[in-house]
A = this chain, B = another copy of it.
Amino acid sequence: MLQGHQTWVFRNRPAIIATAAVGGPFEAEGPLAKDFDKLHGDLWLGQDSYEKAEKKLLEEACTTAIEKAGLQKSDVQFFLSGDLMNQIISSSFTARTLAVPFIGLFGACSSSMESLALGSLIVDSKAGNYVLCGTSSHNATAEKQFRYPTEYGSQKPPTAQWTVTGAGAALLGREGEGPKVMAATVGRVVDMGISDPFSMGSAMAPAAVDTITAHFRDLRISPREYDLIATGDLGKVGFKIAGDLLKKHGLEIPEDIFTDCGILIYSEEQPVLAGGSGCGCSATVTYGHILNRMRKGELKKVLIVATGALLSPLSYQQKESIPCIAHAVSIEYIS
C-alpha cells in the first residue's frame, strides 16, 4: 500500500462511480460551463446568507452524485468533506442533511484531493463500500472571511485570484466501470515565507512542487506516465513559478500535459486577475471537465495536484507567513 515515503498505491483500484459539479454565475460564463451538472445564475441560491448558499451548493453536488450513481443517501457509508469556512460549516451542515457517518477534513483548497485520497484508502482497505468525497467554496463567503466583503468593492493586485463559487463531489465504490483511483501522494507543509494573502499562488507553488517531485520519486515514474497533470489553483502567477521550480529540481513536465484548474475554469476575458482559486476550483474542474474528458476517451491517466494555503486571517494578522500543502491523486480510466 505505502510506496516510497508518502504515496499510497491502491491495489483494489477504487472506482469513481459518479461525480457532480455545481457552479455559480461566474463559472456559468467560463469555458467549462458545459461540464457542470448545475449552474446557478444567482450567487445567493435563494438563501438569506452567502454561507447558506455555499452549503446549498455542496448539498446539491452531493445529492446529484448520489442520484447519478443510482443510489440512495442511506447507501453511502462515509462522507468526507472540508471547506474554507471557519469550522468547515458548509461540510458539517451538509453532513447533517445527508445523515451519514462524517469525517470532517481541512486542507484549505487541497481538501478536494485530501478527501479523495482518504476516501480511496477507506474503499481500498474494505473499510467502506460507498464513500462520498466533497468540497465547496463560494466567492462571497471566502472573500468576506479571508480578505474583505465583496460589497466593499476593494481593489486587488494582479496576483490575487478569484474564489470559485462551486462544489464538487465524487462517489467512490469498490466496483464499477470508468475512472479508478490508482494512487495518492499526501503532501507536507511547505512555507517559503510568503505572507501576502493576495498572492496565494506564489505561496502554494513550492508545496505543489514538493508533492509532485515526491509522487514521481515514490512511484519511480516520469511525467509522461500521465496524459494530464493539473495543479489545483495556482493561477497564472503560481503556475509559472511551479513550472520554473520543477525545472530547477530537474523534473520538467512537458507543456502540453501540464495545466492548472485555476487557469482552465475562467476565460481570458473574465475579470479574475491571476485565475480561479478555492476548494471548489480543483473539485469542479476535476469532477466535471477532466473526468468528462476521460469518459470521452480524450485522456486515459491524469494526476490532480490540489494545493491549499493553510492560513487564517488571525495568523496573517499575527504576522505569520502562509504554510501551504498539496495532495496529489492519480486517476486512470480503465474500461
Q: Which residues of A contact B (CB under 8 A)?
A: 1-2, 5-6, 8, 49, 51-52, 77-78, 82, 84-89, 92-93, 95-96, 99-108, 114, 118, 121-122, 124-129, 186-189, 191, 310-315, 318, 320, 323, 325
Contacts and interface: CB of A to CB of B under 8 A. Distances in A.
A129 B5 CA distance: 10
Contact of A96 (B95, B106, B107, B191): B191
Nearest to A81: B106
Contact of A104 (B5, B106, B122, B318): B106
A108 B87 contact: yes
Ranked 3 nearest A-B pairs via Cβ: A125-B125, A92-B310, A87-B312
B129 A2 contact: yes
B189 A96 contact: yes
28 contacts: A1-B126, A2-B126, A2-B129, A5-B101, A49-B318, A51-B314, A51-B315, A51-B318, A52-B318, A78-B186, A84-B87, A85-B314, A86-B87, A88-B106, A89-B312, A89-B320, A92-B189, A92-B323, A95-B323, A99-B189, A101-B186, A103-B186, A104-B107, A104-B114, A104-B310, A104-B325, A121-B121, A121-B125
Given A85-B314, A102-B189, 11 more contacts: A6-B77, A82-B106, A87-B310, A87-B315, A93-B315, A96-B189, A96-B191, A96-B323, A99-B189, A102-B186, A125-B127
Contacts of A187: 101-102
Choose among A89, A101, A107 the residue with the greatest number of B CB atoms under 10 Å from its CB: A101
A154 to B, nearest CB: 20
Contact of A127 (B2, B96, B100, B103): B2
A126 B10 CA distance: 11
B2 A102 contact: no
Contacts of A1: 125-127
Contacts of A6: 77-78, 101
